[in-house]
């Protein structure tokens, strides 16, 4: 299949592009490189296009005549979305609207959308199933939920075959060290801990008084390679599967437990500075992922936190030592 992957030069996008090519798909990476990396767009052809440029986007789809689209391109920093909501609604929502319009104009009717567990907000149960009430607590989550609703409307109006994958905390890196996680600024916990180790500066621990076993936030860390395989499986079953799936391991780890895993993997002590809570952070987000396993045949291969941390540490050492 020939696929257009928006945000294919980003962290999750580039891992998925590599995975798709390895499984025989032809890929066109579409990215504006505002937050993606040119070195990560190393598989398939590349279109440097901004989703807010509807004319160029429509022309790119017309040029390549793709069979389907995987849509990763989005801003995804919770704190930034709270400070600058207009940026998120413009980039995430309007950009996605343009993409859907361009798809309709070019008769492309298959879409896999990169969504997020942030659509749920503060959970009402220990594990989140797909039918859990949606009540985002930050503009990032709101923007993603709005796109999901828009996709549903396009499904009914234009016959779109689409699947929304709500994944939990992406972690880990390509064991082959061909792509990995590099953000500026970095907000993901595991690379932030690595940065603390390398710089000697204390890790900021945001919130120690949550209603969790050790007072710190609990998250479900799913390896980026497992996310990549889920996107491929969803693509291959479009039209036969349901429209929304949670992607997680089903097990949550607190911030302190992740710190302990990093210390074990690296053999180094992490200095911690306790800080106030950040706005928009729910206390716990853990997936109930049975639907994806049943419908898509998706089972996470990376279920050991230390193995996930180790894959990320190897990439971190290679990339930042060479930089």
Active site residues: 140
Angle between helices 224-236 and 11-22 (to 10 degrees): 60
Q: How many CA atoms lie within 13 A of 118 on its CB side?
A: 24
Query: φ and ψ at 35, to 5 degrees?
Result: -135, -10
Question: Residue 163 to residues 125, 145, 166, 221, 323: CA-CA distances in angstroms?
Answer: 24, 13, 10, 21, 37
**C-beta separation of 64 from 1 below 8 A:** no
Centroid of chain to Cα 27: 19
What residues pair up with 28 in beta bridges, in sequence order?
4, 45
Question: How far apart are alpha carbons 29 and 13 in whole angstroms?
Answer: 9
- Of 82, 81, 117, the C-alpha closest to 219 is 117
- Determine the angle formed by the axes of helices 255-266 and 305-322, rounding to 10 degrees: 60
292's torsion region: left (phi>0), alpha (psi -120 to 50) or beta? alpha
Structure token digits, residue 228: 């990549």
- Do the bridges between strand 221-223 and strand 2-6 make them parallel or antiparallel, or are there none, so unpaired? unpaired
Measure the CA–CA gap between 271 and 101, rounded to whole angstroms.
49
Q: Residue 36's CB: how many other CB atoms inside 10 A?
A: 24
């Amino acid at each position: 299949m020939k696929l257009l992957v928006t945000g294919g030069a980003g962290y999750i996008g580039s891992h998925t592009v590599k995975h798709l090519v390895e499984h025989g798909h032809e890929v066109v990476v579409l990215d504006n490189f505002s937050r993606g990396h040119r070195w990560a767009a190393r598989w398939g052809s590349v279109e440097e296009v901004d989703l807010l440029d509807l004319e160029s986007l429509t022309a790119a789809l017309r040029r390549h005549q793709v069979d389907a689209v995987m849509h990763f391109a989005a801003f995804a920093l919770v704190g930034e979305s709270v400070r600058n909501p207009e940026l998120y609604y413009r980039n995430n929502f309007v950009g996605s609207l343009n993409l859907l319009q361009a798809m309709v104009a070019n008769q492309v009717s298959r879409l896999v959308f990169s969504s997020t567990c942030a659509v749920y907000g503060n959970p009402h149960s220990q594990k989140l199933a797909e039918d859990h009430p949606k009540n985002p607590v930050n503009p990032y989550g709101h923007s993603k939920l709005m796109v999901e609703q828009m996709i549903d409307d396009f499904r009914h109006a234009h016959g779109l075959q689409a699947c929304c994958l709500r994944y939990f905390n992406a972690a880990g890196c390509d064991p082959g060290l061909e792509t990995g996680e590099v953000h500026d600024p970095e907000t993901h916990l595991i690379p932030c801990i690595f940065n603390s180790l390398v710089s000697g500066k204390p890790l900021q621990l945001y919130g120690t008084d949550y209603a969790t076993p050790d007072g710190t936030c609990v998250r479900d860390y799913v390896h980026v390679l497992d996310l990549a395989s889920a996107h491929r499986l969803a693509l291959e079953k479009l039209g036969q599967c349901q429209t929304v799936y949670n992607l997680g391991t089903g097990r949550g780890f607190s911030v302190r437990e992740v710190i302990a895993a990093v210390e074990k993997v690296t053999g180094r002590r992490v200095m911690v500075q306790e800080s106030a809570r950040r706005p928009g952070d729910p206390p716990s987000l853990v997936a109930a992922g049975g639907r994806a396993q049943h419908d898509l045949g998706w089972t996470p291969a990376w279920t050991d936190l230390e193995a996930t941390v180790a894959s990320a540490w190897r990439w971190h050492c290679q990339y930042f030592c060479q930089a």
